[in-house]
Amino acid sequence: MAIAVGLAMSAAAQEFPQTFEHRFGTTVIDDQPERVVTLTYSGADHYLALGVVPVGLRHWYGDFPHSVWPWAQGALGDAEPFVLTEIDYEQIAALEPDVIEGIGSGLTQEQYDELSRIAPVVAAEAQYTDFSTPWAERARTVGRILGQEDGADRLVSDLEARITSIAAAHPEWNGMEAVIAFNVTYPGVYRSVDIRAQLLEQLGFSTPAAIDALGEEGDFNVEISEEDLTLLEADLLVWIIGAGSVERIEGLALRERLTAHQEGREVFADYLLSGAFSFATPLSLNYLLDRLEPLIEAAVDGDPGTPVETTMEAGLAP
């Protein structure tokens, strides 16, 4: 079993103790931790980006070694962190963590209380829902947990500069509306509180107000009816496949009637692209931007004849 690496060599650019305010109260980390367990579904990426391998990480989905996706495998190297398929108190205690991080884990009060008997726990901030903490906020929080605040700030600044540069290169995107949709067990759309929509907003796109008007305040996605897909009409329609299939999207009988479909304004996010969208970490977002920018360019250039590569490969083009 691997232990945390990189901490011993990193200069403690910040002082300890560090205090974290979150939805369950206040957590104090007295000393720079050496052994970290992350319960956030995409949590390992944030640590690997800073050269640290958690002793334990949470499996989300995807059949990849140690539950680490391809964009982060290079940072993982030969390390073998323990993979948790659920919040198992005995397994976590056996890892002897100095801190347990669960910003994007859906922790309950009961789970937080029980885990706090093992080690200090950092939970989601009170101002966000369980899974809506912005990627930059999560990255900076992990940096503070590790004693690498400066390193995390550099990661965030570099990525934000890249996003700003892409947006500046495409002023025509500013003011356009974008819908991010899926059809796994049911068809649905992501509201602007979701991390995927937040990224497109940084690129200039906005979520239609009609979508944000659906659901409860904390809902990051909402179900829509297969009999009425008019909510999907937008300047850009992005399909997230997730754990679903292309056939599920093809099976939406009214999709072909959408103007967004007929005018070639659909971007199909394949398995890796969907995963990178959903993970929303410094490592996954750099991979995402490499692939996403040309796809959006093709989809919203005003020419229905311009092929959108992933949409054509999936057989979803008009």
Question: For 226-235, how does the pLDDT look when each residue is reduced to its tens digit (9 = 90+)?
Answer: 999 999 999 9
Per-residue CA distances from 13 to 22, 32, 33 (Å): 23, 11, 14
Across 251-276, average pLDDT: 96
Q: Is the pLDDT of residue 154 over 80?
A: yes
Q: Sorting pLDDT into bands at 50, 70 and 90, what band is 1?
A: very low
Identify the pLDDT of residue 35. Answer: 98
Q: Is 263 exposed, middle or buried (0-12, 13-18, 19+ CB in 10 A)?
A: middle
Q: Is the pLDDT of residue 140 over 50?
A: yes
Across 154-174, average pLDDT: 97
What the block records as the tokens of 245 is 């299939």
Percent of the chain at pLDDT > 90 equals 89
Report yes or no: 208 and 234 within 8 Å, Cβ to Cβ.
yes
Is the overall model pTM greater than 0.75, yes or no?
Answer: yes
Identify the pLDDT of residue 8. Answer: 37
Identify the pLDDT of residue 131. Answer: 82
Across 264-283, average pLDDT: 95
Q: Sorting pLDDT into bands at 50, 70 and 90, what band is 6?
A: very low
Per-residue CA distances from 17 to 50, 120, 137, 145 (Å): 20, 12, 19, 10
Find all residues with CB under 8 Å of 314, minimum gap 6, and list them. 246, 249, 268, 270
Identify the pLDDT of residue 195. Answer: 87
Q: Sorting pLDDT into bands at 50, 70 and 90, what band is 216?
A: confident
Report yes or no: 105 and 127 within 8 Å, Cβ to Cβ.
no
How many other CB atoms are found less than 10 A from the CB of residue 5?
Answer: 14
Identify the pLDDT of residue 13. Answer: 56
Report yes or no: 124 and 130 within 8 Å, Cβ to Cβ.
yes
Q: Is the pLDDT of residue 25 over 50?
A: yes
Average pLDDT, the chain: 93
